[in-house]
Amino acid sequence: MVTEVLMPKMGLTMTEGTIEEWKKKEGDAVKVGDVLYSVATDKLTNDVECDTEGTLLKILSGEGETVACKTVVAYIGQPGEAVPAGGAAAPAAALTAAAPAAAPVAAGSKTVVVVGGGPGGYVAAIRAAQLGAKVTVIEQEHLGGTCLNIGCIPTKCLLHSAELISQIKDQGADIGVKVDGVAVDFPQVIRHKNAVSKQLTSGVAGLLKLNKVAKIDGEAAFTAPGTLSVKKTDGSIENMTADAIIVATGSVNFAPPIPGLKENPNCIDSTGALSLSELPKSMVVIGGGVIGLELACAYAAFGTKITVVEALDHMLPMLDGDLTAIGEAHMKRMGMEFHLECPVQAVESSPVGAKVVCKNRAGETVSFEAEKVLVAIGRRANTASLNLEAGGLNNDRGRILVNDKMETSVPGIYAIGDCVMGHAQLAHTASAMGEVAAENICGVPAVYDEKTNPTCVYMEPEAAGVGLTEEQCKAKGMKYKVGKFPMSANGKALILNGGEGLVKIIADAKYGEVLGMHIIGPRATDLIAEGALAIRLEATVDELISTIHSHPTVTETLREAALNVEKRSIHMKN
């Protein structure tokens, strides 16, 4: 008996799916549980498993085709059985197509080329396509950029595994969960990271297809203002022009000119730290910024001995000082060592792996040995191959100058994300800029405003901040008020991590307008959205106070911190 293979409906809002890849071919024997094909929908890719046994007789919908849910895409039966006549799947786009929202330009009347398919580039491409433009993305490596492939998402995968290990070891017995033989299967940690990245990058590819965005695999460079030469992966070269070009090439790891660094194979950057085959017993981290400390926290939780060396007298300069102090204290309890005002002089070979030679604050030479050395000094704009001078783009050492519309010095050329000058190098920054650029290109006035842009650090415990820090208020000579509330006085935080952390709100002294919100503790990177919205709406602490926050949740700490600004907290002494 011939069995139909259908496009599944995997959620209430799913109406169609794009077949990414057939895992089986016609004539293959299949059994229950075999993966038949992968399907992309929204921003996810899922595998469709076989629920019968037999032979894959006929595939009706090929790779890249979009079909409606419950549509027959293949038939399974016994060898020699006839499949029903006709029955070819109709593309779902023809069945369920909806007009793009608010298109101020006629469909296809604008041509847009986006150089780079990261979180800035692919978002810009989709937004421009929604607004009626004909869009092409040029990507020389992987869709999703640094964020999905070798940055945000892979790092958070490692941190999630590390957090689970820490919870079992540090909290398990206290909360009545006893586990024997807890161990880190590091190769599986890396496999899980790779699987999540692949699922998300495949989802991005599906989104571009759903929005009719063309993709060219290759490397682009300017040959003149508004003209690109694209060297494709097949070796051919294509010259391209468009009504608008968006440069979204992101950033790359920066390797400082430290003697001996490049020559030692045990010196790695963040990309290397996310691809190790074995868990190192020891690691020296050069740099006390976000990238270095996030990876340091993950590896410390896995059992690696971590030593951090930093040239400045403090770490995480983007965070409010109160948050940094709590984070540093926690990391020290994890066994991490910190050496501040300790600039690196050289890297030498060592039987262990590598020796990092530094000068401490007293001017003495000190050294630290480890199996691996993670170099996390920072990142620089990925524009070296773009030939910016030929394109006429004003830049500062490769960082492209833009205005708040994301316009460059050349009309019709825009730049977004890590490759621009003077803005936070964050994935959500790039995405926001991408939407602004696309909307301006397509006739929808938009500006980029960074004051609501949160900074998130996924160390342990995680921290986030938006708006002004207390240090910045002091430097500006502003009159302000501060409210604080400890996580230890919140029931949900006590349950989640023992109550470690703090919420801090900075408000204007006269009117109580929220100027900044800073959080360290459980769910900090999720909670910070309330602070960003408060700043966007020019909300006052009174408005936060008058907003009911559900119980028991960590969100209650935000209201209590607002209450403390007015010295009337309920659950702590003011």
- The whole-angstrom distance between residue 427's C-alpha and the CA centroid of its chain comes to 5
Residue 473 CA to its chain's centroid (Å): 29
Handedness of CA 34, 37, 40, 41 (dihedral sign): negative
pLDDT in the model for residue 330: 95
Q: What is the pLDDT of residue 44?
A: 66
551 is catalytic: yes
H-state helical runs in 169-185: none
The CATH 2.40.50.100 domain(s) of the chain lie at 3-95
Give the C-alpha separation, 340 to 358, whole Å.
Answer: 11
CA angle 113, 117, 123 (to 5 degrees): 80
For 3-95, CATH number? 2.40.50.100
Is residue 249 within 8 Å of residue 386, measured between CB atoms?
Answer: yes
Instruction: Name the catalytic one among 160, 339, 428, 551.
Output: 551
Q: How far apart are CA 333 and CA 342, in angstroms?
A: 21
Strand partners, 230: 220, 238
CB 499 within 8 A of CB 461: no
CA distances 339 to 288, 307, 371, 549, Å, are: 10, 8, 18, 41
Domain(s) labelled CATH 3.50.50.60 in the chain stretch across: 111-174+181-253+381-451, 267-377
The model's pTM is 0.82
- CA-nearest of 399, 396, 397 to 415 is 399
Q: Which residue has the tokens 């006269």?
A: 510
Q: Name the E strands within 258-319.
A: 267-268, 282-286, 305-309
Question: CATH: 3.50.50.60, 3.40.640.10, 3.40.50.300, 3.40.50.150. Which one for 111-174+181-253+381-451?
Answer: 3.50.50.60
Query: What is the structure's pLDDT at 378?
Result: 84
At residue 478, the pLDDT reads: 96
Two tokens at 461? 């415990």
How far does Cα 210 stand from its chain's mean position?
22
| Intervals of the chain under pLDDT 50 | 87-103, 107
pLDDT tens readout for residues 57-94: 999 999 888 888 889 999 999 988 888 875 443 333 33
Alpha-carbon distance of 515 to 532, in angstroms, equals 10
Q: How far apart are the first and last CA of the chain?
A: 75
Distance CA 345, CA 358 (A): 5
d(CA 401, CA 383) in angstroms, rounded, equals: 12
Q: How far apart are the C-alpha atoms of 451 and 337, rounded to whole Å?
A: 34
Tokens representing 512 are 């109580």
Which CATH number describes the domain made up of 267-377?
3.50.50.60
Query: Of 216, 203, 211, 202, nearest to 137 (Cα)?
Result: 216
- Alpha-carbon span 63 to 69, nearest angstrom: 16
Strands 463-467 and 514-520: antiparallel
What is the spatial distance between Cα 501 and Cα 523, in angstroms, rounded to a whole number?
10
Q: Are 241 and 228 in contact (CB under 8 A)?
A: yes
CA 249 to chain centre: 15
What would be the CATH architecture of the domain defined by 461-565?
2-Layer Sandwich (3.30)
Contact 507, 541 (CB under 8 A): yes
